[in-house]
Amino acid sequence: MIVNEHIEGYIDSLIPDLPDDLRDLEEWALANGVPIIRKSMQQFLKVILLERNPLKILEIGTAIGFSTLFLERFSRPETEITTIEKVEMRLKDARKNLAGHDRIRLIEGDALTVLDNMVLNHTERYDFIFLDAAKGQYPEFLKPIKTLLNPGGMLVTDNVLLEGSIAESKFSIERRDRTIHKRMREYLYELTHSDDFETVILPVGDGVAVSINKEK
């Protein structure tokens, strides 16, 4: 946890209830051990979406579709959302949860391969990209994301502080987690030192990086 649990609990208590369908899906996910965006991250995304009003959203990491449906609910009625997922046990639920949502396009496959193909095929660019996928691949995602994000567009990256362990020395990290720790540090350094982005890192949820594409 990166914020005092009492503070986090108090902040969460102030967040309005979700619409019934999203609340039911959230409860199902929590009961079945499926990671979804946290309460504070939900509210953060809602405010960002209402302020930015993106028309084209790309989500990298659908899971069961909770965050996808959240993005849909709090974006403009004409906003189109593309979301990418490769894990079959997640896709099984995502297909069901996203069925009938015409503004959402689910692409099944490895995210890096899909992103590279989008770049090669000169796919449309996006106003808003939400990255919440395999943490160890974040540095590899950044190059295609730069190409796919519109000038002035926003990239929001979730879970960047790794429960606070990102600030620890690699020698204090369990060996099995060191690769993710190293790659997340590389990703955050690139974001914060890149000429292409202006980035702020905030202790919301499990840490969020908000980056604006500075391309003119």
Q: What percent of the chain has pLDDT over 70?
A: 94
Q: Report pLDDT digits (tens) over 44-56.
A: 999 999 999 999 9
pLDDT tens string 66-124: 999 999 999 999 999 999 999 999 999 999 999 999 999 999 999 999 999 999 998 78
Answer yes or no: are the C-beta atoms of 173 and 163 closer than 8 Å. Answer: no
- Residue showing tokens 């997922």: 85
Using alpha carbons only, what angle is made at residue 72 by residues 79 and 66, rounded to the nearest 5 degrees? 150
For residue 177, pLDDT beyond 70: no
Cα–Cα nearest to 21, from 128, 106, 131, 101: 101
Neighbours of 108 (CB within 10 A): 14
What was the pLDDT predicted at 216? Answer: 76
Q: Is the pTM of this model over 0.85?
A: yes
Mean pLDDT computed over 142-162: 94
Radius of gyration in angstroms for the set of CA atoms belonging to the chain, rounded to a whole number = 17
Domain of 186 in residue numbering reads as 5-213
What pLDDT score was predicted for residue 179? 80
CATH number at residue 204: 3.40.50.150
**Whole-number Å distance between alpha carbons of 171 and 165:** 11
Domain count for the chain: 1
Question: Residue 206: pLDDT band by 50, 70, 90 thresholds?
Answer: confident
* Mean pLDDT to the nearest integer, 135-151: 94
